[in-house]
Structure 1
Amino acid sequence: MTAVDAARQILTSLHDVMASRARAQEKLDQVVDIIGESLSSEVCSIYLLREGMLELYATRGLNKSAVHVTRMAIGEGLTGSIADKVETLNLAEAKAHPDFQYRPETGEDKFHSFAGVPIVYRERAVGVLCVQHVDPRKYADVEIEALQTTAMVLSELITNAELVDEEDALGLTPEQSGPQIISGLSLVKGLGAGFAAYHQPRVQITQVVADDIEAERHRVYNAFDKMHEQIDGLSAQADFGVGGEHEEVLQTYKMFAYDEGWSRRINEAISSGLTAEAAIERVQQHTRMRMREIDDPLLADRMHDLEDLANRLLRIVSGQLGTAAQQGLRQDTILIARNLGPAELLEYDRRRLKGVILEEGSLTAHVVIVARAMGVPVLGRANHGNGGLRGTVRDGDEILLDATAATATVRPTAPVADAFLQRFAKTKERQAVYASLRDVEPFTKCGTRIQVMMNAGLRDDISALAMTGADGVGLFRTEFQFLVSATLPARERQQKLYRDVLDAAGEKPVIFRTVDIGGDKSVPYLASEMARQDENPAMGWRALRLALERDGLMKAQARSLLEAAAGRSLYVMFPMVSEVWEFDAAKKVFDEQLAFLRSKKKMVPEAIHFGAMLEVPALAEVLDLLLPRLSFLSIGTNDLTQFLYAADRGNPALAERYDWLSVAILRFLRRVSQQTVGSGVDVGVCGEMGGRRLEALALLGIGYRRLSITPAAVGPIKELVRKVDLAELTEAMSQWLLKPETNLRQELSAWAQEREIEFD
């Protein structure tokens, strides 16, 4: 008899048992008889996890009086070891195994051979199925495989009948079912409270035993075909893989996707009587058991690749392809994902999305830029134990996310939740105070008007102008439209976006930064150019460098901006300018497009103001040459600081060194500010630095009078400005910058506290 025949024989009998109206206990009693008879085994027993202990629930061959009496802890005895390690045991002589424990009440002393398989639910053992025999012999492979298939069917029966507690079914210890704190990397600061939802929801297998084996086989064939199409399509996507690993990852995926052994095992499981979903899950369980035995990290990674592919195949065959966004959020939600793209994040309902937790993610990831624009707090690099987040966080668990402190509390206790909500309430009260300053102009105590502008990148962001009372948009990131598009945005689409933004802004100025893609901001439709594989993407082929080389891209954007701003003032800013000739080349593209539009008698902007971003330190050395060409200059503090420090801002190991209040950075920024005095060029800062209260104080003290920051920071900075005496602050900053050994953060904090100025 083959493994397929043995399993099919058992499943045929089990199908009738499961369909009957008998009580769950009666069904289990029938199950052990069916398995024992089918495998000619003198003993068949089922142990289930109850209150953290394995309890003998049904048996054929052992003393019936031991049922519901014999109990053992996870890891105790042979049965406990199977549940603990989620692995199969097959022993000719059970007593010879070091984990063997004799239980006299069961009457098992006369049995020698022993085989047991875990009953698995959601990757956790919720019970054990055992067989024993008087003669010392190992069970054949066909018998073990039949037991494993049967255990899967039992999992459905056990969980549907609620024979195990939810905590036990999920395999959670009391500590895991209680409060847990997850740590990570703060990607977008803020607080959020909601209920856990996975971006890729777990596939629910609703039917295990097949009604029509050939129909199930046909379903899985079709699913394999669709998966092959998806995998083949990955090779054309520029964002698949990371750096030089692209080909290796792709080849591994293809190797598994087209592996005949994998598809054959799934087919055999279907032949035994399982549905397509159950067959894939059955093979996946076998893979997980193998993964636990692998010590080689490289091989373990490859097995994880196979796990990913199995999940992909399971979603296809079940038709459960939708993300949580497509299924719709029904309550305040903390979204959990391995990683996300910007377009995927934008699909979510902003009203209900209260935060994001990523198992991967970095400060420079596209999704982080979009999340910051949306005002959604994000915690990245979050992982918890060997099982990852899925091993700790269940769908629907309450989560308190403190992305500022880089932590998330899962299933909080009442006191913790109360304290968090009080803190949340205070934050909202403070936000209400800031909102009350919407129509108040930000003058310092000495009467100097400070421009407080906001950063944006989405059409919907412009509504924040009215809500915050910002003076305008100091940085509109035009690349967002490029990052979330599958193809290069057509000129008409670009023009519509820019016109909509200008219409929404009304009389307030909007500074459009020309597209900043390339480097780490790869887009699939520039795949051939992106293949350059910069070793240091932030300092590579990106922003203006890319746009000048791809002159078609630059021309289309220039025409779109000029046409959108017809009859109005247009502010254009070029990113990552390193030398004067780059600014001249970029402006020439606009001049040529302007001349073309005029030759066609088209309406053009009434005034055009050109500016540059100072992010590359080299530009500071030629400012005297550039300033006569500029209307305004904006300091991009994010990139500038990492270039000055030669410290990747996406590297957590360097996070403590990435300090905007270092003497070196502030001296550099003050020198730039002083160079612009008397030039008629408006100089400002657009970046996160200007949105932090203590750092904003430092910028005001070294001469900056225009800050462009996130919408959420506009109110706090306006409130801060009104408490500052610039003469006093400027004098203090001058003194501190004279002393290289000064701890400027400490000095400025003490100065602010003395004047009752709150800071982050």
Structure 2
Amino acid sequence: MNEWKGIAASTGYALGKAYVLPEISYDPSKRQLNADEVEPEIRRFNEMVSLAAGDIRKLQESAAAENRDVQAAIFATHLSLLRDPEYIGEVTQRMQEEAINAEAALSEVTAELMDVFAAMDNDYLKERCSDLRDVSARIGAYLSGNGMAVPMEFPEPVIMIGMDLAPSLTAKLQPSQVAGFAVDIGGKTSHSAIIARSLGIPAVVGVVGISSCVQTGDFLIVDGHQGIILVNPPDEVQDTYRVLQLAETVRLAQYDRFRELSTVTADGHRVQLAINIANPQDALAVSKVGAEGIGLYRTEFLFMDRDRMPSEDEQYAAYKAAVLASGAEHPVIIRTLDVGGDKEIAYLQQAKESNPFLGYRAIRLCLGEENKAMFLTQLRAILRASQHGNVKLMYPMITTLQELRAANRLLAEAKAELRAQGESYNDQMEVGIMIEVPAAALIADQLAKEVDFFSIGTNDLVQYTMAADRMNEQVAYLTQPLHPAVLRLIDLVIRAAHGQGKWVGMCGEMAGHPDAIPVLLGLGLDEFSMSPAAVLPARELIAGLKREAMAKLAQEVLQLESAEDIENYVRAALHAR
């Protein structure tokens, strides 16, 4: 038995046969071009870049449709690389100046940039080498005509081994096919580690040399708790790990008994657990996991990966399908188009911005004069879908009262158009807003007078409060949902809404976090919307909490000084119960 030690990237235990990934490569040999060959070669390169971008967009949208926001963000980074003049532009410039073939120029520029990153005393930048490696391999595969196909169906779940797992590959991993993985390079913030955690696949990274020493068919154990890989262990060691694996499976299976139950605290207070979705098919998970509705339908993915805007009838059909799939009695909150930032739509011809997360995005874009017709079309489609169930409409990224009023004026216009056409809709449909911007939180008392509900989007609220781009792992330490500043804003929003008799939900990742749920419950949050996998663990947790005790705990943690202090305080309080 050989034992390898690396970095525990994703917890859990996996046992199975190894599958060593074939290295995806292309021939970087340099070939001199005649003068009349250069421009056709540049065109060929640009065509292959476009094909690679198309692949990555599909991966991004697929990840988003399955609520895998982390992966979607990674692919947004890859798309930005394909538009980067310092990368793609440098490749074409080198082809032009040196009259060389695309493969050689791509290989040279990629290697030079990776050397620069690797030499930096910064783990985040070092680990971005995997992005360059993945993107260049995809372009190179198209240039060579070899493709990037890696088999993803096996007779039994395997443990993947490689130098690194490209994000484009890890995004396709399914626990039914891949029990775990280990790679030579990477750290806890590498993309492969992040994706493994989001999928719940045990993984160990930074296991230097393992890809060259393990062979396909070797029996492996991945200990994602201790960061250990065991190669061809004896039967008694396998038996020990199977016991550990079974115990973990039993613990997870205990959540099943909460599937048919309402979400009620130990002292009888009821809250609502909903799920976030990106397409009508996702709505089927409502019944599958015992959720109580859809707290966020991200409509932007209906607009992406196409060359024109979806028609009103197409949108209406999609929204209606989601309502019917979730069950007519369940609330379905449909968010209007939220693009910009890391989500681009080519046919909208969005201008490049130096800081897109602070730019022309979400409701700001929809209220722009050039986009009002598009916005009205979506509003009409949502209104038409409202007749089929408990539909609620929500505007993203509202910052001022004036934006809210402008959006509502267009909603009134959409209603008038439908009435003129004889179309049915629910005139009493609730209309709410996302609270994602500190400015909105600070005027929540004013906004609450003109909406039916709030939904707190903590992914953006945290990044704007902490002034830390959530896509930038260099400042990942500032992505702190439990920071006192964030919790105080949430407290302010909930109190303002309840003061006006309005309810408050949350649709950011924080809503499903076990350390946050007790505090949010104590602050008075009415609805928690999360990924489907988080629903049953959240319901079990809430069932063991007393709201009165959590209200006391929430007020206590608001006085603490750091997210770490709050996290430790909450865990100690729950442990003492």
Q: Could you say which TM-score interval applies, normalised by the shorter chain?
A: 0.7 to 0.9
1:477 and 1:190, CA in 2 relative to 1: closer, same or farther beyond 3 A? Answer: farther
- Please give the root-mean-square deviation of Cα atoms over the aligned residues, in Å: 5.0
Other structure's SS at 1:642 match: helix
Q: Please, which of 331, 341, 366 is the counterpart of residue 509 of structure 1?
A: 331
Contact 2:433 2:454 in 1 (8 A): yes
Other structure's SS at 1:324 match: coil
1:725 and 1:603, CA in 2 relative to 1: closer, same or farther beyond 3 A? Answer: same
Q: Which residue of 2 aligns with 1:725?
A: 546
Other structure's SS at 1:643 match: helix
Residues 217-296 of structure 1 aligned to structure 2 (within 5 Å): 227-228=44-45, 230-231=47-48, 233=50, 242=80, 246-255=84-93, 262-263=100-101
Contact 1:193 1:334 in 2 (8 A): yes
Amino acid in the other structure paired with 1:620: A
Gaps of 5+ in 1: 1-173, 206-219, 267-279, 756-760
Shift in Å, 1:309: 6.4
1:340 and 1:311, CA in 2 relative to 1: closer, same or farther beyond 3 A? Answer: closer
CA offsets, 1:483-505, max 9 Å, x none? Answer: 45565444443332212111111
Amino acid in the other structure paired with 2:149: T
1:747 and 1:235, CA in 2 relative to 1: closer, same or farther beyond 3 A? Answer: closer
Q: Which residue of 1 aligns with 2:567?
A: 745
Q: Please, which of 320, 326, 345 is the counterpart of residue 146 of structure 2?
A: 320
1:698 and 1:364, CA in 2 relative to 1: closer, same or farther beyond 3 A? Answer: farther
Q: Please, which of 661, 668, 673 is the counterpart of residue 482 of structure 2?
A: 661
Amino acid in the other structure paired with 2:467: A
Residues 210-221 of structure 1 aligned to structure 2 (within 5 Å): none
Between the aligned partners of 2:383 and 2:188, the Cα distance in structure 1 is 35
Q: Which residue of 2 aligns with 1:114?
A: none
Contact 1:544 1:577 in 2 (8 A): yes
Contact 1:356 1:377 in 2 (8 A): no
Between the aligned partners of 1:406 and 1:629, the Cα distance in structure 2 is 52
Q: Which residue of 1 aligns with 2:422?
A: 601
Greater Rg over alpha carbons, structure: 1
Other structure's SS at 1:542 match: coil
Q: Please, which of 566, 578, 582 is the counterpart of residue 387 of structure 2?
A: 566
1:553 and 1:307, CA in 2 relative to 1: closer, same or farther beyond 3 A? Answer: closer
1:672 and 1:245, CA in 2 relative to 1: closer, same or farther beyond 3 A? Answer: same
Shift in Å, 1:584: 1.9
Q: Does 1:617 align with 2:438?
A: yes
Residues 581-596 of structure 1 aligned to structure 2 (within 5 Å): 581-596=402-417
1:659 and 1:392, CA in 2 relative to 1: closer, same or farther beyond 3 A? Answer: farther
Between the aligned partners of 2:359 and 2:202, the Cα distance in structure 1 is 27
Shift in Å, 1:249: 1.5
Higher RCO structure (Cα 8 Å, ≥6 apart): 2
Contact 2:53 2:79 in 1 (8 A): no
Amino acid in the other structure paired with 1:734: Q
1:532 and 1:682, CA in 2 relative to 1: closer, same or farther beyond 3 A? Answer: same
Q: Which residue of 1 aligns with 2:367?
A: 548
Contact 2:48 2:142 in 1 (8 A): no
Amino acid in the other structure paired with 1:547: C
Amino acid in the other structure paired with 2:575: Q
Amino acid in the other structure paired with 2:364: R
Between the aligned partners of 2:423 and 2:485, the Cα distance in structure 1 is 49
Q: Which residue of 2 aligns with 1:79?
A: none
Q: How many residues align?
A: 525
Between the aligned partners of 1:551 and 1:393, the Cα distance in structure 2 is 58
Between the aligned partners of 2:521 and 2:132, the Cα distance in structure 1 is 52
1:675 and 1:313, CA in 2 relative to 1: closer, same or farther beyond 3 A? Answer: closer
Q: Does 1:449 align with 2:267?
A: no
Between the aligned partners of 1:530 and 1:197, the Cα distance in structure 2 is 44
1:570 and 1:659, CA in 2 relative to 1: closer, same or farther beyond 3 A? Answer: same
Between the aligned partners of 1:406 and 1:477, the Cα distance in structure 2 is 37
Between the aligned partners of 1:555 and 1:512, the Cα distance in structure 2 is 15
Q: Please, which of 389, 393, 400 is the counterpart of residue 579 of structure 1?
A: 400
Between the aligned partners of 2:82 and 2:16, the Cα distance in structure 1 is 38
CA offsets, 1:257-276, max 9 Å, x none? Answer: 6687655xx9xxxxxxxxxx
Between the aligned partners of 2:203 and 2:320, the Cα distance in structure 1 is 35
1:712 and 1:635, CA in 2 relative to 1: closer, same or farther beyond 3 A? Answer: same
Contact 2:49 2:139 in 1 (8 A): no
TM-score by length of 2: 0.74
Between the aligned partners of 2:132 and 2:560, the Cα distance in structure 1 is 55
Q: Which residue of 2 aligns with 1:538?
A: 357
Q: Which residue of 2 aligns with 1:339?
A: 167
